[in-house]
Amino acid sequence: MIETVENKSNIENEMLNVKNFYVNFETYDGIVHALDDINFTLKNNEVLGILGESGSGKTTLATAIMGLLPENAGVKGSITLNGKTYLRENDFNSGKKLNRKQLKILDQNLRNIRWKDISIVFQGAMNSFNPVYTIGKQIREVYKLHTDLSDNEIEEKLLKTIRYAGLNKMVINAHPHELSGGMKQRAVIAMALALDPEIVIADEPTTGLDVITQAEIINQLKALKKQGKIKSMIIISHDIGVISQLADHIMVLYAGKIMEYGTSRDIYLNSQNPYTVELLKSYPSIKNAKKHVEGIPGTLPDPINIPEGCIFYERCIYHDAICKQKEPDITYINNEHYSRCYFASKLTEKERVNTDIDGEPIIGTEKKVETKDLVTYFDLKKSMAGSLFSNKERVVRAVDDINIEINRGEILGIVGESGSGKTTLARTIIGLIKPTAGEIIYNFENTNININKIKQRSKEYSVFRKNTQMIFQDPYDALNPKMTVYDIVAEPIIAHRSTNNPGEMLNMVKSTLKEVNLTPPENYLERFPHELSGGERQRVATARALVLNSELIVADEPTSMLDVSLRAGFMNLIKNLRNKNNLSILYISHDIASVYYLSDKIFVMYLGVGVEYGDSKDIVNNPLHPYTKALIKAVPSPTPDWNPGNIDIIGEIGNSINVPKGCRFYDRCIYKQGKCKNEKPPVQKTGTHWYLCHFTQDELDNIKQYMK
Partner 1 sequence: MKKQWKLFYKSPYGKIGFYILLAFIIITLISPLIIIDHNPVTYFAPPEDVYTVDHQLTANVSFTPTSTAMSTVSSTSGASLIYNTGKSTTGAYLVYGTSIINGSSYKLFNIPSKPLGMDVFTAGSYSTFLRSGESIPGYHTYVMVYTAHHLYILYIHFKGPTYGTGSIYVTSQSLHISSNVDTVFSSALPYHNTPVGIPEFNSTSIYPVFIYTITSNASKYNITAYYLADIYKPIKSVQLSHSTNPQMHSFFGTYYTDSTHQRVLIWQGDNLTIFTPTLNSNVTKPLRSYTKDISIPSDYQSQYNPSNLGVFMLSNSSVIVLNPVTTNIKYVYNGTKLNYIASTPGSSGFPAYVAVTSGYNIFFLSGYHSVHKTINATYYINGIEESGDTFLTYNSASGKVTYYQYITSSQPIGWALYMHKAISTPVFTLNPKTARISVAFNSLNSIVIYGINGKDLNPIPPTLHTLSGTSFPLGTTSTGQSAWALFIGSFPPDLEVGFVVGIIILIISVIAAMAIGYFSGLPSTLAETFTLAIYLIPGLPLLIVLAKILGPSLPNIILILSLVGWTFPAFTLIGIVRSVKSRTFIDSAKVSGVKTPQILRRHMLPNMAPLLIYLTAINIGGAVAAISTLEILGLAPVTIPTWGGMLSGFYGDFYALAIAPWWFIPPIIAITLFILAFIFIARGMDEVVNPRLGGRR
Contact present, 253 and 61 (Cβ < 8 Å): yes
CB of residue 526 vs partner 1: minimum separation in angstroms? 14
CB of residue 475 vs partner 1: minimum separation in angstroms? 9
- Judged by beta carbon, residue 219 or residue 428, the one nearer partner 1 is 428
CB of residue 456 vs partner 1: minimum separation in angstroms? 10
CB of residue 531 vs partner 1: minimum separation in angstroms? 11
CB of residue 386 vs partner 1: minimum separation in angstroms? 13
Strand partners, 415: 604
Least Cα distance to 122 among 81, 65, 55, 195 occurs for 65
- Judged by beta carbon, residue 207 or residue 462, the one nearer partner 1 is 462
- Judged by beta carbon, residue 471 or residue 595, the one nearer partner 1 is 471
CB of residue 75 vs partner 1: minimum separation in angstroms? 18
Give kind and range of the element (H or E) at residue 220. Answer: helix 211-227
Rounded CA-CA distance 177/132 in Å is 9
Strand partners, 602: 413, 614
Pairs from 301-306 (Cβ < 8 Å, separation ≥ 24): 301/255, 303/32, 303/33, 303/34, 303/55, 303/255, 303/256, 304/27, 304/29, 304/30, 304/31, 304/32, 304/33, 305/30, 306/33, 306/36, 306/255
CB of residue 127 vs partner 1: minimum separation in angstroms? 18
Contact present, 271 and 281 (Cβ < 8 Å): no
Binding site for partner 1 (CB under 8 A): 27-28, 71-72, 384, 427, 430-432, 462, 465-466, 468-470, 472-474, 477-483, 491-492, 495-496, 541, 544
Contact present, 159 and 169 (Cβ < 8 Å): yes
Least Cα distance to 575 among 291, 297, 354, 366 occurs for 291
Omega before residue 520 within 30° of 0, cis = yes
Strand partners, 606: 609
CB of residue 447 vs partner 1: minimum separation in angstroms? 17
Output the 3-class SS for 531-595: HCCHHHHHHHHHHHHHCCCCCEEEEECCCCCCCHHHHHHHHHHHHHHHHHHCCEEEEECCCHHHH
CB of residue 496 vs partner 1: minimum separation in angstroms? 5
Strand partners, 332: 338
Cβ partners under 8 Å of residue 175, min gap 6: 131, 132, 133, 134, 135
Query: Amino acid letter at 469?
Result: Q
- Judged by beta carbon, residue 470 or residue 630, the one nearer partner 1 is 470
- Judged by beta carbon, residue 322 or residue 495, the one nearer partner 1 is 495
Output the 3-class SS for 440-452: EEEEECCEEEECC
Rounded CA-CA distance 8/122 in Å is 34
Mark 293-311 as b/e (b = at least 16 C-beta within 10 Å): bebbebbbbebeebeebbb
- Judged by beta carbon, residue 289 or residue 506, the one nearer partner 1 is 506
- Judged by beta carbon, residue 75 or residue 479, the one nearer partner 1 is 479
Rounded CA-CA distance 89/76 in Å is 5
Contact present, 639 and 268 (Cβ < 8 Å): yes
β-pairing, 552-556 vs 584-588, is parallel
CB of residue 52 vs partner 1: minimum separation in angstroms? 24
Contact present, 64 and 79 (Cβ < 8 Å): yes
CB of residue 612 vs partner 1: minimum separation in angstroms? 28
DSSP 210: -
Give kind and range of the element (H or E) at residue 596. Answer: helix 592-598
Query: How many beta carbons lie within 10 A of that of residue 186, not counting itself?
Result: 24
- Judged by beta carbon, residue 251 or residue 471, the one nearer partner 1 is 471
Query: Amino acid letter at 200?
Result: V
- Judged by beta carbon, residue 313 or residue 464, the one nearer partner 1 is 464
- Judged by beta carbon, residue 282 or residue 512, the one nearer partner 1 is 512
DSSP 291: B
- Judged by beta carbon, residue 271 or residue 467, the one nearer partner 1 is 467
- Judged by beta carbon, residue 80 or residue 462, the one nearer partner 1 is 462
CB of residue 193 vs partner 1: minimum separation in angstroms? 33
Contact present, 24 and 256 (Cβ < 8 Å): no
CB of residue 470 vs partner 1: minimum separation in angstroms? 5
Contact present, 535 and 248 (Cβ < 8 Å): no
- Judged by beta carbon, residue 6 or residue 526, the one nearer partner 1 is 526
Cβ partners under 8 Å of residue 248, min gap 6: 46, 47, 48, 263, 264
- Judged by beta carbon, residue 282 or residue 469, the one nearer partner 1 is 469
CB of residue 545 vs partner 1: minimum separation in angstroms? 8
Rounded CA-CA distance 388/411 in Å is 44
- Judged by beta carbon, residue 401 or residue 474, the one nearer partner 1 is 474
Give kind and range of the element (H or E) at residue 377. Answer: strand 367-379
Rounded CA-CA distance 493/387 in Å is 42
Residues making up the chain, counted from first to last? 708
- Judged by beta carbon, residue 477 or residue 641, the one nearer partner 1 is 477
- Judged by beta carbon, residue 202 or residue 478, the one nearer partner 1 is 478
β-pairing, 118-121 vs 609-615, is unpaired
Tally of CA atoms within 13 A in the half-sphere of 300 that contains its CB: 20
CB of residue 149 vs partner 1: minimum separation in angstroms? 37
CB of residue 478 vs partner 1: minimum separation in angstroms? 4
CB of residue 465 vs partner 1: minimum separation in angstroms? 4
